[in-house]
């Protein structure tokens, strides 16, 4: 894995890693922070062990692992599921950034299938998080690598996902927790309005789906 990085500061307080997973919670959180908190594009990673990939967003082509920064925070968006070997290489590179820029903590964001949309968390140090502490389970991949590394202050935030597909409500709950952790106000109203509009469209969508099924099976 190769890294291309251009950061303006010598020290950073936070690294936020948004992973691809259930409900697209990580990507929604990451893209929202980029758009509404005005993070600056600062680099990218090229996974060498995976199939060559590019991401298209609003007609523009991007690398699947992008790095952004704003103030004392580095934001890493992982828009693909990395192979195991690439996950280890990703961990090593981020670990290097953590040491070089004297980062104080790492926050990892992902989704988790759940009966509700609570925010669950697990941390390898004493961190005050407004959520439910994950008391049992199995962690794999990138979260496991960082949480097992006692040389980092790492916290995993998992947004409970109730339904298949995108879950912006779960992402909203994660953003509220991140806002408190960073002690920085994140403008949440745009996402709240989008969720409201989406909920208003759901009955019409279900009605159309029902009509189609009725015609097919009549």
Backbone angle region of 202, left / alpha / beta, with phi > 0 → left and psi within -120 to 50 → alpha:
alpha
pLDDT of residue 207: 54
Fold of 2-187: Rossmann fold (3.40.50)
Residue 76: name the closest of 86, 88, 63, 85 by CA: 63
CB 177 within 8 A of CB 131: yes
Question: Virtual CA dihedral for 71, 93, 101, 142, nearest 10 degrees?
Answer: 60
pLDDT of residue 55: 78
Beta strand residue intervals within the chain, DSSP E: 2-5, 14-18, 40-46, 55-57, 60-62, 65-70, 73-78, 105-113, 119-123, 132-133, 154-161
Model confidence, pTM: 0.87
Count of alpha carbons within 13 Å of 182, Cβ hemisphere only? 24
Extract the tokens encoding 155.
């916290």
pLDDT of residue 215: 45
Alpha carbon distance 157, 188 (integer Å): 18
pLDDT of residue 142: 96
Residue 94: name the closest of 70, 71, 111, 77 by CA: 77
pLDDT of residue 216: 40
Backbone angle region of 102, left / alpha / beta, with phi > 0 → left and psi within -120 to 50 → alpha:
left
pLDDT of residue 206: 44
**Domain layout of the chain by residue ranges:** 2-187, 189-218
Number of residues assigned to the chain: 218
pLDDT of residue 86: 87
Q: How far is CA 170 from each of CA 65, 138, 191, rounded to the nearest angstrom?
A: 22, 21, 11
Low-confidence ranges of the chain (pLDDT < 50): 205-206, 208-218
């Amino acid at each position: 894995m190769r890294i291309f990085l251009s950061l303006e500061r010598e020290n950073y307080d936070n690294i936020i890693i948004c992973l691809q997973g259930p409900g697209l919670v990580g990507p929604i959180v990451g893209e929202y922070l980029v758009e509404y908190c005005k993070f600056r594009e600062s680099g990218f990673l090229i996974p060498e062990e995976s199939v060559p990939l590019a991401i298209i967003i609003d007609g523009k082509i991007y690398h699947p692992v992008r790095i952004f920064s704003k103030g004392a925070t580095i934001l890493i968006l992982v828009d693909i599921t990395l192979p195991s070997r690439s996950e280890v290489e990703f961990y090593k590179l981020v670990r290097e950034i953590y040491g070089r820029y004297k980062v104080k903590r790492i926050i990892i964001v992902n989704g988790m299938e759940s009966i509700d949309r609570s925010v669950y968390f697990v941390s390898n140090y004493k961190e005050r998080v407004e959520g439910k502490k994950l008391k049992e389970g199995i962690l794999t991949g990138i979260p496991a690598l960082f949480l097992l590394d006692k040389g980092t202050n790492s916290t995993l935030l998992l947004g409970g996902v109730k339904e298949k597909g995108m879950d912006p409500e779960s992402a909203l709950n994660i953003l509220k927790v991140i806002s408190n952790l960073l002690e920085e106000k994140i403008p949440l109203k745009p996402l709240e309005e989008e969720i409201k509009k989406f909920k208003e469209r759901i009955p019409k969508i279900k009605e159309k789906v029902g009509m189609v099924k009725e015609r097919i099976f009549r």
